């Protein structure tokens, strides 16, 4: 069996479902099946769409000086 994108264990949520679209304000999902729903809601007609996934932001790196990397 082929491994799916982002693993086989994707938690169903309307925020990443192919049947719904995010509203203009981004607080609710406009679902074709259930109407206006919360992004964390789920139903039996869940279809995973990896393009709707919002990736986590990377932490910013601290600033370092050349003195910290100098060997004595």
Kindly list the averaged pLDDT for each block of 10 residues, start to end, along the chain of length 72.
67 87 89 89 86 83 86 80
Establish how many alpha carbons lie within 13 A of residue 40's alpha carbon, considering only the half-sphere containing its beta carbon.
Answer: 0
What pLDDT, on the 0 to 100 scale, is given for residue 6? 64
pTM: 0.61
Q: What is the spatial distance between Cα 42 and Cα 52, in angstroms, rounded to a whole number?
A: 15
What pLDDT, on the 0 to 100 scale, is given for residue 36? 92
**Across the chain, which distance is largest between two alpha carbons, in Å?**
67
């Amino acid at each position: 069996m082929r491994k799916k994108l982002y693993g086989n264990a994707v938690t169903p949520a309307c925020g990443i479902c192919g049947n719904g679209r995010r509203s203009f304000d981004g607080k609710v999902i406009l679902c074709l099946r259930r109407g206006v729903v919360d992004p964390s809601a789920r139903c039996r007609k869940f279809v995973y769409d990896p393009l709707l996934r919002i990736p986590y932001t990377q932490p910013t790196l601290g600033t370092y000086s050349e003195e910290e990397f100098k060997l004595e």
